[in-house]
């Protein structure tokens, strides 16, 4: 079976993790500090706080901005569920705005109508490695004096007008689960240029300990969201080759896109002229009547595939029950959600494998077409 994702782990990664293990310092050590410093430098921000997951990072970002009960946060229904769950952790309300069909990102034109007196922030996911339209979004944020949290968990080193995602808003979060462009096993990192937000996150991730206070003094409610040294060591090593990892993904995306042009039933993602994608997944869209059958056929032929994101966040059972959202409220996101599937995509995938996947995809689509023609009345 060709998997959907596979981390690229080399001898240097293994060596760094072993160094951490041999050092005797397994938490709050030099790898963590170095990883945070280097990450901040690479993205071009002043501060970084490494944490034990992207979700933990988003939770702290919400808390750092003081978002609480009855507040509203504007976000996208076409994202990984953590982008909305982090709002619920503080009993605030996610207010969804539909997405652009071309980029799958939140539609800036539809944000303003959802802003109310209760709106406290915009939480903007950059989907599948492509930046949301941060020019328009930051204009709206400035106009209404709203802070912006970037969910950059899928978009490390993606740019918009040449500027990195994670550097537009007040605070941003990246994630390092093994299917992301770089990994720490589990892990994430918060970045910001704001010293107050930085200090809050640094402390809250470590049980609320304050710099000035003794080890066991806590001046606020904190969490154990710390990243351990083995993860930080892996992160440091992966960060040193992140340009290579992203360029491999770029090459593979180009091979997919070039060859999929010949399949009229398949739509591929459009990368906006002003963006440079860092390619988190390779997604395609097909007729929604065929999508699930197609995924089954691919898996039968040993090509892993998955509907992504399905269903949209607002119609996840828990959200429907809690907020009463109905199917049909965010038609663009829901259409994408019914049509999209992702194909195997990771740096060690070979060109030959991509071409094989496309052949299998093509064969499956032909088979589906024949079946459809046979069942026509
Ligand atoms: C991966 C991801 C996260 C964070 O995931 P974790 O598994 O908690 O690290 C958050 N938002 C989006 C959009 C993601 O893709």
pLDDT at residue 230, as a whole number: 98
Give the integer Cα–Cα distance in Å for 139 and 157: 22
User: How many Å lie between the centroid of ligand 1 and the Cα of residue 180?
Assistant: 9
pLDDT at residue 220, as a whole number: 84
Q: What is the pLDDT of residues 70-98, one digit of tens each?
A: 999 999 999 999 999 999 999 999 999 99
Q: What is the pLDDT of residues 19-45, one digit of tens each?
A: 999 999 999 999 999 999 999 999 999
At 376, the pLDDT band (50, 70, 90 cuts) reads confident
> Which residues lie with the beta carbon below 6 Å from any ligand 1 atom?
53-55, 79-80, 82-83, 125, 151, 153-154, 175, 177, 188
pLDDT at residue 185, as a whole number: 98
What residue owns the CA closest to ligand 1's atom 4? 54
Give the integer Cα–Cα distance in Å for 306 and 373: 26
Contacts of 91 (CB under 8 A, 6+ apart): 68, 69, 70
Q: Is 348 exposed, middle or buried (0-12, 13-18, 19+ CB in 10 A)?
A: exposed
What angle, rounded to 10 degrees, do the helices at 288-300 and 351-375 form? 130
pLDDT at residue 210, as a whole number: 77
pLDDT, mean over the chain: 96
Biggest CA pair distance of the chain: 78
Give the integer Cα–Cα distance in Å for 140 and 338: 30
pLDDT at residue 214, as a whole number: 60
Q: Which two tokens stand for residue 299?
A: 């898996």
pLDDT at residue 240, as a whole number: 98
177 pLDDT above the threshold of 80: yes
What residue owns the CA closest to ligand 1's atom 2? 153
In the chain, what are the domain boundaries? 11-98+107-240, 242-375
The Cβ-side half-sphere exposure at 330, using a 13 Å CA radius, reads 30
Q: What is the pLDDT of residues 187-240, one digit of tens each?
A: 999 999 999 999 999 999 999 987 655 666 777 899 999 999 999 999 999 999
User: How many Å lie between the centroid of ligand 1 and the Cα of residue 156?
Assistant: 12
Query: What CATH number should be reported for the domain whose range is 11-98+107-240?
Result: 3.40.640.10
Q: What is the pLDDT of residues 239-266, one digit of tens each?
A: 999 999 999 999 999 999 999 999 999 9
Using the atom order of ligand 1, give the atom closest to the CA of residue 180.
1
Using the atom order of ligand 1, give the atom closest to the CA of residue 176.
9
Query: Between the CA atoms of 263, 269, 272 and 277, what dihedral angle is there, to the nearest 10 degrees?
Result: -120
User: How many Å lie between the centroid of ligand 1 and the Cα of residue 147?
Assistant: 20
Query: What CATH number should be reported for the domain whose range is 242-375?
Result: 3.90.1150.10
pLDDT at residue 212, as a whole number: 59
Contacts of 18 (CB under 8 A, 6+ apart): none
Give 332-353 as a DSSP string. Answer: HHHHHHHHEEEE---TT--HHH
User: How many Å lie between the centroid of ligand 1 and the Cα of residue 261?
Assistant: 30
Give the integer Cα–Cα distance in Å for 49 and 75: 23
What are φ and ψ of residue 275, in 5° steps?
Answer: -110, 155
Whether residue 83 contacts residue 75, with contact meaning beta carbons closer than 8 Å, is answered with yes
174 pLDDT above the threshold of 60: yes
User: How many Å lie between the centroid of ligand 1 and the Cα of residue 326?
Assistant: 25
């Amino acid at each position: 079976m060709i998997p959907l994702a596979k981390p690229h782990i080399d001898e240097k990664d293994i060596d760094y993790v072993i160094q951490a293990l041999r050092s005797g310092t397994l938490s709050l050590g030099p790898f963590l500090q170095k990883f945070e410093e280097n990450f901040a430098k690479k993205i071009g921000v002043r501060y970084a706080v490494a944490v034990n997951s992207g979700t933990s990072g988003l939770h702290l970002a919400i808390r750092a901005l003081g978002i609480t009960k009855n507040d509203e946060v504007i976000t996208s229904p076409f994202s990984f569920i953590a982008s909305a769950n982090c709002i619920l952790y503080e009993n605030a309300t996610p207010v969804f705005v539909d997405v652009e069909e071309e980029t799958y990102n939140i539609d800036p034109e539809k944000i303003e109508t959802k802003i109310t007196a209760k709106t406290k922030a915009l939480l903007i996911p950059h989907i599948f490695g492509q930046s949301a339209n941060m020019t328009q979004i930051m204009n709206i944020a400035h106009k209404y004096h709203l802070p912006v949290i970037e969910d950059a968990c899928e978009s490390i080193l993606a740019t918009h007008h040449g500027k990195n995602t994670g550097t537009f808003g007040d605070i941003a979060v990246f994630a390092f689960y093994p299917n992301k462009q770089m990994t720490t096993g589990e892990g994430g990192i918060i970045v910001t240029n704001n010293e107050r937000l930085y200090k809050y996150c640094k402390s809250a991730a470590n049980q609320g300990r304050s710099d000035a206070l003794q080890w066991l003094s806590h001046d606020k409610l904190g969490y154990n969201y710390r990243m351990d040294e083995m993860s930080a060591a892996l992160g440091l090593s992966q960060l040193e080759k992140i340009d290579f990892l992203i360029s491999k993904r770029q090459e593979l995306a180009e091979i997919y896109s070039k060859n999929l042009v010949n399949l009229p039933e398949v739509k591929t993602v459009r990368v906006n002229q002003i963006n440079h994608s860092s390619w988190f997944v390779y997604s395609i869209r097909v007729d929604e009547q065929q999508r699930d059958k197609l995924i089954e056929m691919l898996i039968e032929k040993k090509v892993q595939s998955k509907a992504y994101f399905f269903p949209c966040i607002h119609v996840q059972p828990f959200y429907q029950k809690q907020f009463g959202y109905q199917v049909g409220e965010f038609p663009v996101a829901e259409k994408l959600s019914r049509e999209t599937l992702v194909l195997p995509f990771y740096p060690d995938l070979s060109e030959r494998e991509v071409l094989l996947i496309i052949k299998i995809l093509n064969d499956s689509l032909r088979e589906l077409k024949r079946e459809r023609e046979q069942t026509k009345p």
